[in-house]
Chains A and B, each alone.
Chain A
Amino acid sequence: MSAKIAVVEDNPDNRLLVNTLLEDLYEISEYETGVEAIEGLSRDPPDLVLLDISLPEMDGTEVLEWIRQQPDLASLPVVALTAHAMSGDREKYLAMGFNDYVTKPILDESVLFDAIRRCLSPTA
């Protein structure tokens, strides 16, 4: 039984890329917007969320905030997968409560895989 990962990404190409990278290993559910995501997450809670920041209507930080406010989702690992890679962004997002932070473009897939693995097995 592979872990379930929710991918929240508005760019269809990037959604497809992440899906392609992860589909062999994990069970993927995709959401295009933040609003869609919170509906889906409450309906079908995953083991981990790969969350883009820049999303229409409701951005990733708001989604995170919502997740952290849900009693049954509060401890859900959320990894920021974002093109916000300016200095300080990493710290900023980790401080917000993201469990990990991976920048786009993904030069080395293993970085993403490592991040997911770390988050799925917090004891490691």
Chain B
Amino acid sequence: MPEPHRLSPEHPSGPLPAESDPRRRTIEAVRAVEEQLAGPDLGRERVIVYWSLLGIIGLGSALLWNTPWTSSAALHTLLETLATIVALIVGGLALVRFYSRKQATFLFIGTGFVGAGVLDLNHALLTSDFLLAAGSPEAENLFAWTWTAERVFLSLFLFASLLAWRQEREGESVHEGSVYLTAVTLTLLNLLFFEWVPLTDAHVPVLWMSRPAEFLPGILFLLAFLGYLAKGAWRRDDFEHWLMISLVIATMLHVAFMARSTARFDGMFDAAHLLKLTSYGAMLTGLLISVYQTFRREGEVLGALTAANEALGREIEVRAKTEEAVKEGRTQLQDFLDNANDLIQSVALDGTILYVNGVWKQTLGYTDEQLTELNLLQIVHPAHVDTVRSEFDRVLRGQPSRRFNVEFVAANGRVVILSGSVAAQHVGGKPAATQGIFRDVTEQRIAERQLADSQANLTALVENTGDAIWSVDRDHRLITFNSAFSLAMEARTGREPAVGHLPFDVFVAGDVDWYAAVYRRVLQGDRHVALRTDEVDGQLRYFELYANPIQGDDGITGAVLFGKDVTPRVRAEEALRVAKDEAEAANKAKSDFLASMSHELRTPLNSVIGFTNILLKNKDAHLDDKEIGFLQRVLANGKHLLELINEVLDLAKIEAGRMEAVTESVDLGRLVVETVQQLEGQARAKEGNVQLVAEVPEGLTPIDTDPAKLKQVIINLVGNALKFTQQGSVTVRVDAGSEGATPVAVAVEDTGIGISEDRLEAIFEAFQQAEAGTARKYGGTGLGLTISRSLCLLMGYDLIVESTPGSGSTFTIVMGERPRRQGQAQTPRVVPFEVEAEAATEVADVSATSAGEGLSGPAFHRRLRSFRVLVIDDEKDSRELMTHYLEDFGCHVDTARGGQEGLVLARESRPDLITLDLMMPEVTGWEVLKQLKSDPGTRHIPVVVVSIVAGEGRGRLFGAVDLLTKPVEREDLLGVLWRHLIRKSVGRVLVVDDEEEIRDLLADYLGRAGLDVVVADNGQAGLEAVRREAPDAVLLDMGMPVMDGLAFLSRLRTNPSYSGLPVLVLAEGPLTERERAELAEKASGVIPKGQGMARELREALESLFTLQAEPNGGL
């Protein structure tokens, strides 16, 4: 769990509530106590007291007037001394009071009384008996003025105290030091004044007063009194009350008494002093009461404070506990937030992110560093910024929060869809931030969207298919349906179907049972398609009803039904069937016509050809040469006509679609090699020097094709190429694809006359040959290429031609990557027997005819007349066919029905060549061959083996010069005759060996035996020598540089022209198993080098050639 993001480590401590401020509470408690102590308003009573005092003192003054009272100085001194003490006490108390309450009033009162005390003492001392001679006028004045001075001083200070109060009330403070300084200065000046200044007479009788100077302090005291009266504190404050009393007394003592004192120690004089002491006493009383009250108040305040303190202490304790609880709660809350499953955030008004919880960070992937720099609006998906702003504004305006969706962009760019709400966060009553809590609903939303999409798609699909779709429950009640269903049903019943409807509500009465039956069947779990026809708008329409059970957890819960209008399909099928029937009928008619044509054309030709043949026998010899020539022309044209008929019918059949490709897996290389082999004789029979070559890459993969048709095309193309090539070569080449294994094309390349560009396409058209008059010169029907191309197209191939007039043409069967057509399985289809068989027959016909033409005339024919051939074959048909061919070529033919007869005939007639069937009863071909080769009289006769299987066991056929496969083709036979009778005047042997010494030795030996010798020093050179001019035999060394013996053999045998060429391997040392096997397959024989080699070689050569003489000395 990552540490949640906290921007302020301390939680903000909110302001304390007002009532919880202890200082304020203390002040208020004190004030309450003071108010309580101030006492009630006693104004009325106290005014009465003041008036009473005034009255009493005034009355006293009246009473004492003229009373004969004279006291002594001692009393005066006593009174003044007492006054001094009281004044100092009062002053001291007042100052104490000042320092306890800091009221300037008390400062002035204090300093005034202390100063008055000092002056009173001075007065007492100066007027005492100890210092003053009684009775002197100076003493009289000193008495009066020191008294007055003191009184003025005090009255001034008391008045000033009033002023100080006023000043304080105005909010200005009184400077303490200056008050003291003033008091001390005035006191000293006072003292000094009386020391230095001569005093005037104090008694100046004015009106009724003897001492008018006493009025001055009297007036000042009165002013002070009036001032304090105005202040009004006296009504409640006991001290001020006593101050008022003191001021009343002081005023009166001056005005009513001392001013009227006529002499020292008279009644007025003493009363005044007594009153002065009384006024001091009143002050003292007031102060004492004040001090008492202060102490009392202090005690009560202290009690209140203590109580407040205790309360405070309790509160602090509670508060501490609360805070602890809050703190703990806060920690728990933090944990709770961090571990909440929802995304929680606190965002400042400017978008600064203050706090996010763990899930928030996990979901969006931002780090703390990123968050301190990011604004929330940078994280919000741009399309949702306005939403966020407006939601924040809403809650900040005080509107209730509400749920909304918003998309955030996570750190990795993923869009996260959140759902939640925000709330305003207030600090000091003002919005300061927003708190949001969201849930990641991305997957849910995506799922919802997908669901909604798929739902919408499904609905659209269901609604737009055009098919009626509906579902029913187990009780056949309609659950859902689309509008196609609704409309169709309404059109039929006039009632709109509704959910819950039963079949008789939904369908017309006649259909209810039918649908109910379908429902019952499908609800039993039988998923099926029901067919029905309905008449809609007077038209018959076909429907397929696909009924599918709905499989619930507890078995089948209902069924879904699709009603598909298949009328167009049914109609189309009907139309197709009709069309097919018609086409088939037409095809049949065409086939019948072709068959009739064939028949009708052949019938008269039978007479033409047949009778001509009979006439040509010239039995009675009464036809002359010219007439025979005419008959030959009739015969040739009759045959040509037959050929034309065959080809035209072929073409017609292909074009009528009656011919089908019958594919099977075919080794194309083998097919080409065999085809070329078959055509070799035709090439040999040409007058010029034309080589027929097959070029087939090794390791071809088999392809699916129609071998008979492909072979027919190749035969046509090679026949064509040979026809137009007088010099050079015709090459049949298999091209492998880019992968080098799959054949993609077969090309037939010639070095013939070529075709001009403007005729390139025309040659494929029926009866169009390259040049006008071509047919006359070269023969042919002009249909071969047309048929070839049609066959190619039939097999899915193309046939193209490239040509340069004068240098040759290339016809290419383009096979490419043959796509498998539908319905064409791996295994060959059931083969319509007619196709293959016919193709084969007709090919044979065509080639037989063209080969026959190739033979007519050349010198080759003449030369063959002189040869005698022995045919050894047990099969009568085969024997007759060989005889037929050979006699046709002009040879003398002897036939033998078996091996024994063959051996006898061979010895007797000494033929030039023997054809030997291998598979014979009694004496097998191998045995016959062995005996022929062991008999000196027959050893030299070349034997051509006729085998059923091509290339079978060549190793066992040592001594045979060539190989023919059954069925023997005319051309092949011709090739064999050419190779072994005409070309072979003397034997021609190729010696392939890398050791010069051995080459020379062999060449010498062979030369002495009367053979032509060609040498080559390795396999490669050997192949080139073979290509230049094919030898009659090869003597082959095994180990050679560049290309060894085995490689030479392999390459040699791939060319079908050399598959029968005898190769004798001269082996040095023992052979490996693999070599032995390979040589048994490909070589004609193996002769070990060394001892006995000469004898074996001679035997071998004798079986092949007629050696001139016994070579002397051997090897």
Contact = CB atoms under 8 A, between A and B. Distances in A.
B834 A91 contact: yes
Given A88-B838, A91-B837, A110-B884, A83 B614 contact: no
B602 A90 contact: no
A83 B835 contact: no
A20 B615 CA distance: 11
Interface string A55-91: 0000000000000000000000000001111111011
Nearest to B635: A107
Contacts of A16: 607
A87 B835 contact: yes
Contacts of A3: none
Which are the 8 A-B pairs with shortest beta-carbon distances? A87-B838, A88-B834, A83-B602, A104-B606, A105-B606, A87-B834, A13-B607, A17-B610
Interface residues of B, number: 36
B838 to A, nearest CB: 3
Contact of B610 (A21, A83, A114, A124): A21
B837 A11 contact: no
Given A87-B838, A88-B833, A114-B880, A106 B610 contact: yes
A9 to B, nearest CB: 10
Given A105-B608, A105-B638, A106-B610, A86 B602 contact: no
Interface stretch (B327-335, B386-394, B591-599): B591-599
A104 B604 CA distance: 9
A109 to B, nearest CB: 6
A88 B642 CA distance: 18
Nearest to A104: B606
A105 B835 CA distance: 21
Contact of B839 (A20, A84, A87, A124): A87
A5 B880 CA distance: 23
B606 A17 contact: yes
Contacts of B404: none
Given A13-B607, A90-B837, A105-B642, A84 B598 contact: yes
A1 to B, nearest CB: 23
16 contacts: A11-B603, A17-B614, A83-B598, A83-B599, A84-B598, A86-B838, A87-B835, A87-B838, A88-B833, A88-B838, A90-B837, A104-B602, A105-B610, A105-B638, A107-B642, A109-B610
Nearest to B604: A13
A105 B614 contact: no
A88 B605 CA distance: 21
Interface of B: 594-595, 598-611, 613-614, 638-639, 642, 649, 653, 832-835, 837-839, 841-842, 876-877, 880, 884
A104 B605 contact: yes
A73 B649 CA distance: 37
Contacts of A54: 599
A114 B881 CA distance: 11
Contacts, number: 86
Contacts of B606: 14, 17, 83, 104-106
Contacts of A109: 610, 613
B103 to A, nearest CB: 151
Contact of A91 (B610, B614, B833, B884): B833
B595 A84 contact: yes
A29 interface: no
A103 B833 CA distance: 18
Interface of A: 11, 13-14, 16-17, 20-21, 54, 82-88, 90-91, 103-110, 114, 124
B835 A103 contact: no
Nearest to A108: B884
A85 B837 CA distance: 12
Contacts of A103: 602
Contacts of B642: 105, 107
B838 A105 contact: no
A13 B876 CA distance: 32
A104 B599 CA distance: 9
Contacts of A21: 610, 614
Given A13-B607, A17-B611, A110-B884, A86 B876 contact: no
A54 B598 CA distance: 12
Nearest to B849: A107
Contacts of B884: 108, 110
Contact of B837 (A20, A88, A114, A124): A88
A13 B613 CA distance: 14
Nearest to A54: B599
Contact of A106 (B609, B834, B876): B609
A98 to B, nearest CB: 16
Given A83-B599, A106-B606, 4 more contacts: A20-B611, A87-B835, A87-B842, A114-B880
A124 B874 CA distance: 11
